[in-house]
Amino acid sequence: MKHIGFLFLLFCSVAASSQGLDIEVKLDQAAGKKVFLANYYLGNIFAKDTIQLDEEGRGEFKTDSLLPQGLYKIYMNKDNHFDFLLGADQQFSLSNSTFSATDMKVEGAEETDAFVDYIVFLKNLQDKGAELRENIKSAPEGEKEQLRNEMEGLTDRLHQKWETIGEEHPGWFLSKFVKANHVPALDVSSLPEEVQNNDSLLLRKRFNYQREHFWDNFDYTDERFLYTPFYKPKLETWFTKVLYQNYDSIKPDVFSFIENVRPNKRIFQFVTSWFLNSSVNSNIMGMDALFVDIAREYYLSGDAFWATEKTLENIRENVLFAKDNLIGMTAPNLTLESFDGEYFTLHDVEADYTVLVIYEPDCSHCKVFVPELHEKVYEKFRDKGLEVYAIYSMDNKEEWGEFLTKHGLFDWINVWDEHHVSRFKILYDARKTPGVYVLNEDKEIVAKKMTIEQLEKFFELNLN
């Protein structure tokens, strides 16, 4: 009998743990209406279930399995919806006399109920803050300091609330959720006076401090944060604003981030894909090198288990066209034929800087860019150490000659590859024209994909 009793208890335990989500709702203002249960996921909102409430506003959301923990929404229409936190307890009742989260009542899920308590606390704190700000405007000068101290005290109360939740419920997602977007501020008073009184040093200290502490309160390895509106914008801010916008500086931090989340497959997939796309689409010069690194390390190595063959094919192609012309690399050498039948080798060009431009006369952008490159850049800096190695990318010599004559470009090194044997279109990614590369005296690529204005500024700094 004892053995049978043990099996019965074990069976009951397994059955209870395998229950799915079951939320009984009562929404007074949605009686007889259709409502949705939706979840946040990486900045988007997805409907999980739909029910029709009865005439008393009652209904039940049910699923066969538990849903991921995170921030969820009950939605009737664009003007009537509210959020709630879904924790480990997913069988409970929820009522709301309005569509304000502060009016929500929860029974049977302690963490969800605590979330409501926190929302009410925040609302009261915000109301008190608004009241104090209004009082400060009209208060006599002698009372303003006291009111400002009360304002500062509200921040202390908020932080104390975070600490209390964390101490009382360390395993709850709510403990992480409430302070996830808080980035500690540098205590300037702790710095040496010479730093406090030097704007540039102080700015650097603040920048470095934010960089070091940006993730202090956000556990980016916790999958539950994917089911909130926070993860994606937080990652984007870090990548584009917190990190120093330079390939050599960004790469170690990005790779460390990816490796830290690797044990969680869902997060690993998201962040690796996000970094790959962000680097290839970045406006920061040289960030395509990060794309090549991520592609090789995670996609072409086979680690990107989610990547389809079509995706890998596209990545291989982009790597092929990027890997030989990255900033800092020695430019691939070319020996091409000039309009007059001579051969000119790129690495033999003697100049402080060489602009390599690839164009086709029928390209609408080229029709404007190439003449302006000659007029606004070349003519201005030709006597100061600038040369242009201009590659006509097509195979119609008559068309080429007409373009050179029309715009007076015969003082450049004008070359072509009539039979396309040099692979210059791959080595210098000529899929889009015009293609522009700036090479230094040693024929290292120091800049690329620049506008006329950027080229002018570059040479004003480096050739004057």
| pLDDT for the residue numbered 8 | 36
User: Strand 80-86 to strand 91-96: parallel, antiparallel, or no bridges (unpaired)?
Assistant: unpaired
pLDDT digits (tens, 9 = 90+) for 306-328: 999 999 999 999 999 999 999 99
CATH placement of domain 335-462: 3.40.30.10
Alpha-carbon distance of 151 to 119, in angstroms, equals 19
Given a cut of 70, is residue 18 above it in pLDDT?
Answer: no
pLDDT band at residue 97, thresholds of 50, 70 and 90?
very high
| pLDDT for the residue numbered 140 | 87
| pLDDT for the residue numbered 400 | 97
pLDDT band at residue 77, thresholds of 50, 70 and 90?
very high
Give, as one character, the DSSP assignment of residue 70: E
Q: 370: which 2 tokens? A: 């190439």
| pLDDT for the residue numbered 11 | 38
Alpha-carbon distance of 359 to 434, in angstroms, equals 5
Alpha-carbon distance of 355 to 439, in angstroms, equals 6
Given a cut of 90, is residue 393 above it in pLDDT?
Answer: yes
Average pLDDT of every residue of the chain: 94
R_g (Cα) of the chain, nearest Å: 31
Closest alpha carbon to 258 in 250, 282, 340, 25: 250
Closest alpha carbon to 295 in 307, 284, 282: 307
Residue pair 264/226 in contact by the 8 Å Cβ criterion: no
pLDDT digits (tens, 9 = 90+) for 336-377: 999 999 999 999 999 999 999 999 999 999 999 999 999 999
pLDDT band at residue 244, thresholds of 50, 70 and 90?
very high
Look up the CATH superfamily of 21-112. Answer: Carboxypeptidase-like, regulatory domain (2.60.40.1120)
Q: 59: which 2 tokens? A: 């209904």
The residue with tokens 């860019």 is: 369
Residues 6+ apart with CB under 8 A from 385: 351, 352, 353, 463
pLDDT digits (tens, 9 = 90+) for 215-239: 999 999 999 999 999 999 999 999 9
pTM of the model as a whole: 0.90
pLDDT band at residue 19, thresholds of 50, 70 and 90?
confident
Give, as one character, the DSSP assignment of residue 13: H
Q: Which residue type occupies 424?
A: F
